[in-house]
Amino acid sequence: MQINLSYRCLFGLILLLGLNATSLGNCIGVVTAGGGAGFWGKVEKGAHQAGLELGIKVIVRGLADEASSEGQRHIINSMINWGCKGLVLAPNASERQQVVTSLKAQGIPTVYIDRDIGGDRASVIKTQNFEAGVLAGQEMAKALNGKGRVALLRMDQQVISTTHRENGFIKGAQTGGLAIQFEAYLGTTIGDARKHATQALKHMPGIDGIFTPNESTSIGAMLALEALQLPHSILHIGFDAHERMIKALTENKMQGFIVQRPFLMGYQGVHTVYKVMKGLSVEPLIDTGVKFINKNNLNHKETKEILSLK
């Protein structure tokens, strides 16, 4: 069995730190997906803040590559072995349903964040991804005055959250008068996204805009556009936020991006699973909301708070 290199390094670090059920005791485990260090870093900060408020140990672990289903399964098993009594999970495979059912039978509740794959989860805390994609399509149509051909640069067909955003974008863009000229999958890492975006953009003459559905695809496509130095301007609307994307926005290299509230996902995820552990009722779905960021509203107070800008 092969395990993602990032997971091997992570597991080795855990062993070196001596983390085990005896040393950790009662805890809440937060298992993230991949596809964006900035996004998941903010989830982690929110989760730890909730842990401090509740006075309970919170452990956050995740993989660099969202496609590693086996790696995520190993992390979940480790969380349970360490004594965690509740799980906050961004599931990266449909097989997680069986794991969640098994955990529930053991008295360990699970709360999903960022996406929903169904099953015996206690609650789901996420963005309404399809609607967020529609918003991106509408903003693209507005920027192009309802005329133009655009490319949809997808992430990975196995990732449900980005798939919903991509399909929402199609609806928003087509309703706004745009034509979806080209679609391609870029992969789950920045390196793959850059490589595949470069290949795709070389063969897309006359494209007026592109949409990318998460942090890694947005940065990868942005780097590809910079390297290619195409003779005509292509409007780029991305998803999630990273310092590179913010810088590109100020330099007119991106039209804008849809930003989620990952800190809130981590924060509410821990608070929600803690309530379930205490036998309290919780909402089955909590929508953390999104906002479209462009150069016009980058310096607004709300935007700065969301992006943690000074």
Pair 134, 255 in one domain: yes
18 shares its domain with 114: yes
Closest C-alpha to 39, from 131, 141, 115: 115
Q: For residue 253, what pLDDT is reported?
A: 92
- Same domain for 136 and 251, yes or no, is yes
Structure tokens belonging to residue 28: 């809440």
**Strand (E) positions, the chain?**
27-31, 57-61, 84-89, 110-113, 123-126, 149-154, 179-185, 209-211, 235-239, 256-259, 285-287, 291-293
Per-residue pLDDT of 220-233, as tens digits, reads: 999 999 999 886 78
Least confident range of 33-42, 46-55, 148-157? 33-42
Q: Give residue-wise pLDDT tens across range 88-102.
A: 999 998 999 999 999
Residues 85 and 108: beta-carbon distance below 8 Å: yes
**302 lies in some domain:** no
Task: Note whether residue 110 is domain-resident.
Answer: yes
Helix axes 215-228, 37-54, angle to 10 degrees: 150
13 inside domain: yes
Q: How many domains does the chain have?
A: 2
- Name the percent of the chain lying above pLDDT 70: 91
Does the residue 308 lie in any domain? no
251 with 167, same domain? yes
Specify whether 140 is located in the same domain as 241.
yes
Provide the pLDDT for residue 23: 46
150 and 123 in a common domain: no
* Tens-digit pLDDT profile for residues 254-306: 999 999 999 999 999 999 999 999 999 999 999 999 999 999 999 999 999 88
Express each pLDDT in 124-146 by its tens digit.
999 999 999 999 999 999 999 99
Q: Residues 74, 155: one domain?
A: no
Structural domain range at position 28: 5-127+261-279
112 belongs to a structural domain: yes
